[in-house]
A and B are shown apart, each in its own frame.
Chain A
Amino acid sequence: MRSTATAAPLLGPSVLWLAVFYLIPLVLLLVQSFWTYDPINVVTDQSFTLGRYSDIGADPVYRDVLWKTVKLAALVTITDIALAFPLAAYIAYRVKRKSLGLLLVIIPLWSSYLVRAYAWRTILGHDGVLNSFLIWAHVLSHPSDAFLFSNTAMYITFTHVWLPFMVLPLYTALEKIPPALLEASRDLGADGPRTFAHVVLPLVLPGIIAGSIATFSLTMGDYITPSLLGGPDSNLIGNLIFSQFGETLNWPLGSALSMLVLAVLACFLILAGRTGALEAM
């Protein structure tokens, strides 16, 4: 930045926006997590207590669901890295009109998230495209109920819906690698896999971390896909938090659960920082 005098009015609105819509609500959530909701009199007791956190510790369902969510988020992230890498590399190295390639990746984001989730319902359902195809191909004799309303359906939907968030940072990172480095590596005798492991991967790591932060935190907070596509056993921590706010009226407990999710994400960011990838950003 040139000087603080120029920086302040430029930064001011953004900082204000961030404070009002991000920081203040987070602080309110934290404060609420120390209150108690009385369902009999339908009032909230605002005296300070750690009771909500001990409620969470006392009932195994909360940590079971949180762990279930973390595992799913990790699985979705790894799958998205595996899927996004070839796609990003293809756009970076093989596609002439790169902006068109990127546009095609971003276009699904222009449609509503609900529309894409419902699309998966039609594909995976009892009388959906997948079942019809498998019956036509004589792989199945009658439709399978294993696709829709299951953890698999959730996993497929998440992987598909967050993929653009992994492709974009990967593409950016790949595009920044000077081709001269790759040629130099080849000249020095390294084959494809060695070049990949020793040259490409370290340089692309910030992009992988950036994409992972997106897919991991988006999955951690989601409750819509489990409701639409999940089975009876598919409730994630987002659903538990949603039911505290939307049904049980126990906002203090919902806030405490939200703080727990934030703590998990903070751990993830610390681990990501340890790899040194965040400095390169």
Chain B
Amino acid sequence: MPSSLNRRSFLKHMGAAAGAVGAAGITGGAVAEAASRPAQRASSQATLNILCWEGYTDPSFVGPFEKMYNCTVTHTYAGSSDEMVAKWIAGHGNTYDLVSASGDADRRFIHSRTLLPIDVSKLKNFNQLYPKFHAPPWNTVNGIHYGVSFVWGANVLIYDTRKFKQAPASWEVLYDHKYKNEVSIYDSAITIADVALYLGWKDCYNLNNSQLAKIKTVLQQQKPLLRKYWAGAGDVEDAFQHGELVASSAWPLMTNDLRKAHFPIGETVPREGATGWADTWMISKSSPNVDLAMKWIDYMIGPQGQLGVINVTAYSGSSRAVVPALGPARVKALHMDDQAYFDQLHIWSEPVNYADWVKVWTDVRG
């Protein structure tokens, strides 16, 4: 019976290996999950589950909120609008109470029919919002508020100041052979809008097929020059700190974090212009904590929440409530009351032919 002895001991060894892999896999998965969520206190407090971009649930301003309302806030980060939409819709809007949606995702969220229309009269800080955020088209449809705007910012170019004595004047630096293997761009189909701006097409969310074809060629030519495509803030900051990158597209959050780590980083908006985003808090219509979610939104557009998120991310706030605490110099630096600056930023909005954008991106990334 040598063959069945072979089989049994083989199965025994493979079973041991499978058990080890299973344990390792579960541990690994649990570690990854726990890393994106702070430990929940065992209590009968209400828990707010938030799906958002990095930096929007920093303990520095979440802590006071939790104390004030005797609750727990847990978060899940998403690295891109697409990922955010996917995570939300996979759970039919039941997994999270709140989401911080950017303009290029709002239409999908609204269409998913999982959002709670918000009664803004219940928000005591709503009137403090700058006028352009009272009923912006990306989150207010036919007078119904599907969300409330709370921060905005530009997709900037950041660079190592040791390599660039002066800020690069053009996005060209990310397409230049001189910086081969030292540059990076954001791994999301929405980056196509930045390429459109670089090519001089100001109406960067309205691209026809021949424009998309040209952009695809440019992206394919750029691909061998890139060190990597970045997926999140940690990715970019890590790479700069380890000397892997000298220039990259990024969010002001990365500049802020790298400055805090005393890294010589510079930030600029090149001459071709930049895309930007304006983020909206939206509530799930099946949330069991609607009252608490409304309190969260009120807090985030009030003085404390705005100051907290601005300090962490260096993004621009949407509410005048924070002006006294921020001071006129920072308000000016963040262009918070500068309508003209906001207007010339090409804020993320969802192109009508976004499916074609995704196709181009998939083809380039393959």
Q: A residues within 8 Å of B by Cβ? A: 39-42, 59, 61-62, 64-65, 106, 109-115, 125-128, 143, 145, 148-149, 164-165, 168-169, 171-173, 175-176, 206-207, 210, 227, 230-233, 235, 239-240, 243, 245-249, 280-281
Contacts and interface: CB of A to CB of B under 8 A. Distances in A.
B366 A62 contact: yes
B3 A280 contact: yes
A149 B83 contact: no
B167 interface: no
B17 A165 contact: yes
A206 B10 CA distance: 10
Interface of B: 2-3, 5-7, 9-10, 13-14, 16-17, 20-21, 23-25, 27-28, 31-32, 80, 82-83, 85-87, 89, 108, 111-112, 181-182, 188, 223-224, 226-229, 231, 242-244, 354-355, 358-359, 362-363, 365-366
A61 B362 contact: yes
A169 B242 contact: no
B86 A245 contact: yes
Contacts of A280: 3, 6
A188 to B, nearest CB: 21
Chain B binding site: helix, strand, loop or mixed by DSSP?
Answer: helix
7 contacts: A110-B24, A143-B243, A206-B10, A240-B366, A248-B362, A249-B86, A249-B89
B108 A148 contact: no
Contacts of B3: 280
Given A169-B13, A248-B358, A106 B366 contact: no
Contacts of B244: 125-126, 145, 148-149
A113 B25 contact: yes
Nearest 7 Cβ contacts at the A-B interface: A112-B28, A247-B82, A61-B366, A109-B20, A126-B243, A232-B226, A145-B181
B24 A113 contact: yes
Contacts of A65: 366
Contact of B21 (A109, A206, A247): A109
Nearest to A55: B359
B12 to A, nearest CB: 8
Contacts of A128: 242
Contacts of A114: 28, 31-32
Chain A binding site: helix, strand, loop or mixed by DSSP?
Answer: helix
A145 B226 CA distance: 11
A114 B259 CA distance: 28
A149 B28 contact: no
A145 B227 contact: yes
Most interface-central of A64, A126, A239 (chain B CB within 10 A): A126
A200 B266 CA distance: 63
Contact of A39 (B2, B181, B354): B354
B270 to A, nearest CB: 22
Given A39-B355, A127-B243, A240-B362, A172 B112 contact: no
B6 A176 contact: yes
Contacts of A165: 17, 21
A171 B13 contact: yes
B6 A232 contact: no
A249 B14 CA distance: 36
Contacts of A227: 231
A176 B13 CA distance: 13
A227 B87 CA distance: 19
Contacts of A148: 244
B86 A173 contact: no
Contacts of B228: 149, 230-232
A74 B117 CA distance: 53
B112 A42 contact: yes
A235 B366 contact: yes
A39 B13 CA distance: 47
A76 B85 CA distance: 35
B149 to A, nearest CB: 22
Contact of A173 (B10, B27, B32): B10
B241 to A, nearest CB: 9
